[in-house]
Homo-oligomer: A and B are copies of this chain.
Amino acid sequence: MKNSLLNRLTPKEPKFFPLLKELAVVIQKASDLLIDLIDHYTPESAMEHYKMIKEVERAGDKLSNKVFDELNTTFITPFDREDIHSLAGKLDDVTDRINGCARRIAFYKPQRMPKSMSRMALMIKECGVSISHAVEELDVLKKNAHKAKAYCKELHEIENRADDEYQSFIMELFECENDSKEIIKLKEISYELERATDEAEQVGKIIKTIIVKYA
């Protein structure tokens, strides 16, 4: 039944937007858990938090597979199918990266958790909020792309701030830390946090490309 011609021909547009919104919610959930992990960090508790983030990441994986399956059984889509596909994939990448941050912390078990990490996790959460707002605008994009553009700009600015935070942290790390292993561990963890905001900015770039195509 699912693949029947009738089913394929029935307009199905609306279902993509809820799925994309759910993917944005998953990003926020993962970033909330990451803030928890970092703010209450102990080398012992980190693995427990990481496992919770891993579960959220798996839920995101299922959602993005669902988008892919829907694309293959739907004729009429609100945007070019490859744009929906790449947007869903990139939303999933953000969650993957947050999961990557949690895993590095849980596996590397640094001795301390500098305040910088906490600030970067908050920026990732900010990205999640901007992404949710931007995704909310998708169904009116062809009429009014003004707000969506503003949210993409926010993502660009948050990434810039995260980058500054990362570089300042590394500078301080080189100055104050003398344990080479600890330097490498903290550098790798903060790099992954910064890359999570990078991926979030990529979501903005994909949405801007969609704007350029349709607006």
Given known pairs A107-B167, A183-B181, the reply for A212 and B71 (CB within 8 Å) is yes
Hey, which chain B residues are within 8 Å of A212, CB to CB? 68, 71-72, 81-82, 85
Q: Any chain B CB within 8 A of the CB of A211? A: yes
* Per-position 1/0 for A31-70, Cβ under 8 A of B: 0000000000000000000000000000000000000100
| Distance, CA A108 to CA B170, complexed state (A) | 8
Task: Tell whether, in the assembled complex, residue B209 and residue A85 are in contact, meaning their CB atoms are under 8 Å apart.
Answer: yes
Q: Any chain B CB within 8 A of the CB of A5? A: no
Hey, which chain B residues are within 8 Å of A145, CB to CB? 72
Q: Any chain B CB within 8 A of the CB of A171? A: yes
Hey, which chain B residues are within 8 Å of A211, CB to CB? 72
Beta-carbon nearest neighbor of A72 in chain B: B215
Hey, which chain B residues are within 8 Å of A208, CB to CB? 68, 85
Task: Tell whether, in the assembled complex, residue A81 and residue B213 are in contact, meaning their CB atoms are under 8 Å apart.
Answer: yes
| Distance, CA A181 to CA B208, complexed state (A) | 40
A111 to chain B, nearest CB (A): 11
Given known pairs A107-B170, A171-B107, the reply for A213 and B89 (CB within 8 Å) is no
The total of chain A residues at the interface (CB under 8 A) is 31
Task: Tell whether, in the assembled complex, residue A167 and residue B103 are in contact, meaning their CB atoms are under 8 Å apart.
Answer: yes
Given known pairs A72-B145, A180-B181, A212-B72, the reply for A205 and B171 (CB within 8 Å) is no
Q: Any chain B CB within 8 A of the CB of A147? A: no
- Other than A103-B167, A184-B187, give 16 A-B pairs with Cβ distance below 8 A: A68-B212, A71-B212, A72-B145, A72-B215, A81-B213, A89-B205, A104-B167, A107-B167, A107-B168, A107-B170, A107-B171, A108-B170, A108-B174, A180-B180, A180-B181, A180-B183
Can you list 9 residue pairs at the A/B interface with Cβ under 8 Å?
A72-B145, A81-B213, A82-B209, A85-B208, A85-B209, A103-B167, A180-B181, A180-B183, A180-B184
